[in-house]
Chains A and B, each alone.
Chain A
Amino acid sequence: KAGVTQTPRYLIKTRGQQVTLSCSPISGHRSVSWYQQTPGQGLQFLFEYFSETQRNKGNFPGRFSGRQFSNSRSEMNVSTLELGDSALYLCASSVLPGTLNTEAFFGQGTRLTVV
């Protein structure tokens, strides 16, 4: 079955612009979480969605937002981009959150460069 799909794979934006990234989870997976990966900070949790509701949120400014649709696809939006937002953004999906045998499957990420 198809894995987690993230689009686009690469993106170049200018400071001050906004950007929307998309994540299609594995079919049947209802939980989607987002991570930011940078060389300095590593992988940092952004937020998690389940059944169109945000369940958890990491320590990021309000410029970072997300949503989940009824088909479990998720988008994240970053407004007023800053140079420091340049990163690899990873999406992970799982069947359900919080179950003992939950495995998160990761996408290949979207590489965002802010110039």
Chain B
Amino acid sequence: AQRVTQPEKLLSVFKGAPVELKCNYSYSGSPELFWYVQYSRQRLQLLLRHISRESIKGFTADLNKGETSFHLKKPFAQEEDSAMYYCALSRSTGNQFYFGTGTSLTVIP
């Protein structure tokens, strides 16, 4: 069965410090991995996906199939990064996501 685990419910870092949000998954096939973000009073939106290998707002995430992880990283946190972050897994054949429970990131000025 598919499962996405985000071990940290809350994470606080100082502005300018590096940040890493952890995500581990279990899935028997070839999943697509995503990070979604929800800023205060806004709707859930896509931050990045592993297949694009892109950096969005300074965030990157590398899929490590050996460790079944997809951690989200940013070298220098900014106050505007404070938000709820969800790691999600999708089967390649559908618009069906399995979400982790989310990590609330607070960047302290």
Residues of A that sit less than 8 Å from B by CB: 3-4, 31-33, 35, 42-45, 48, 50, 55-56, 58, 90, 92, 94, 97-98, 100-109
Within 8 A of A (CB), among B32-60: 43-46, 49, 51-52
A5 to B108, CA, bound (A): 34
Q: Are B43 and A98 in contact (CB under 8 A)?
A: no
Q: How many A-B residue pairs have CB under 8 A?
A: 63
B10 to nearest A CB, angstroms? 14
B19 to nearest A CB, angstroms? 21
Q: Are B95 and A31 in contact (CB under 8 A)?
A: yes
- The answer to whether B28 has its CB under 8 Å from any CB of chain A is no
A76 to nearest B CB, angstroms? 15
Q: Are A98 and B93 in contact (CB under 8 A)?
A: yes
A88 to nearest B CB, angstroms? 10
A-B contact pairs, 15 of them (CB 8 A): A4-B43, A33-B95, A33-B97, A56-B94, A90-B44, A92-B95, A94-B95, A97-B94, A97-B96, A102-B90, A102-B95, A104-B97, A106-B44, A106-B45, A109-B43
Residues of B that sit less than 8 Å from A by CB: 43-46, 49, 51-52, 86, 90-102
Q: Are B102 and A98 in contact (CB under 8 A)?
A: no
B85 to nearest A CB, angstroms? 12
B98 (CB) vs chain A CBs: closest residue: A45
B102 (CB) vs chain A CBs: closest residue: A42
Q: Are A98 and B95 in contact (CB under 8 A)?
A: yes
A105 to B42, CA, bound (A): 12
A40 to nearest B CB, angstroms? 9
B93 to nearest A CB, angstroms? 4
A14 to B100, CA, bound (A): 30
B72 to nearest A CB, angstroms? 17
| B91: chain A residues within 8 A (beta carbon) | 98
